[in-house]
Structures are given as structure tokens and as C-alpha cells.
Amino acid sequence: MKGRALGLDFGHKRVGVAISDELWIAAHALTVLPRGEASARVADLVQEYGVTQIVIGLPTTLSGQEGRSAIAARQFGDEIEEVTGLAITWVDERFTSKDAERVMLEAGTRRRVRRTNLDKVAAAVILQSFLDRPR
């Protein structure tokens, strides 16, 4: 694989961003973007980091159904495909925010820092689940 993978945790207000290493082994939390700036900034990040794969978490219900949030995430994915020219890989994101919160709690992260970093850590959880898939 050439390039890096970029993971996105879509939210109506914020988008968490994570990046893989060059070997596609580990995901690293990168930043949180305001939703209104996300498409343009993601396009910049794709160029800056040499991204060849974009992974977006798909919010589904516990039964696996897609609701309003999933529809909004798919619309966001369409925007990202348009500005980057890269196809989107969708990853089930059920429980990623809980997993991200648990990871930060275990690390002893203070509440204010957890709140600020939750979206980008959730993006790293989403991206890591993609990286851990058998190829």
C-alpha cells in the first residue's frame, strides 16, 4: 500500500480526524474540524499526508439500521469523495465514542481534555478497526 489512510468521525458540529502511519499499522488521532470547514480541510490533509484511502464511520442503530445520522454521514462522504477524488470506505461506528471515552479514562485523561479530544480519538478508533481488518 502506498500513502496513508485517513479516518473521519462525522458529527453534525464537528468531524474528528485520524491518520495512519505509512505501514497502515497504527491510527493516530490528528485533529477536530468544525463541520463547515471539514470538506476543504480534509482535501488539504489528503494532499499534505499523501492519503490514498479515506475511512468514515457510519452511525447505525443497535439493530444495524441507518437513520438520519447515517444519511447525513453518507452525504458528507459524497462531499469528501467530490473534493478529494478518493472513494470512501465505510466502517460501522457503533460504540466508537464509548470506546474512545474508555481509552481516555484508562489513560487518566481529565474531563475537559476528554471532551476536547473525543471526536479525534473516536476517529482513531474507527480507523484502527479498518486497519486491523484482514487484507
Question: Domain total for the chain?
Answer: 1
Give the C-alpha separation, 4 to 53, whole Å: 7
Which band of pLDDT confidence, cut at 50, 70 and 90, is reported for residue 30?
very high
The per-residue pLDDT for 78 is 97
By residue range, what is the domain housing residue 8? 4-131
53-91: pLDDT as tens digits: 999 999 876 666 777 888 999 999 999 999 999 999 999
Angle, nearest 10°, between helix axes 96-106 and 111-131? 120
CATH number, domain containing residue 35: 3.30.420.140
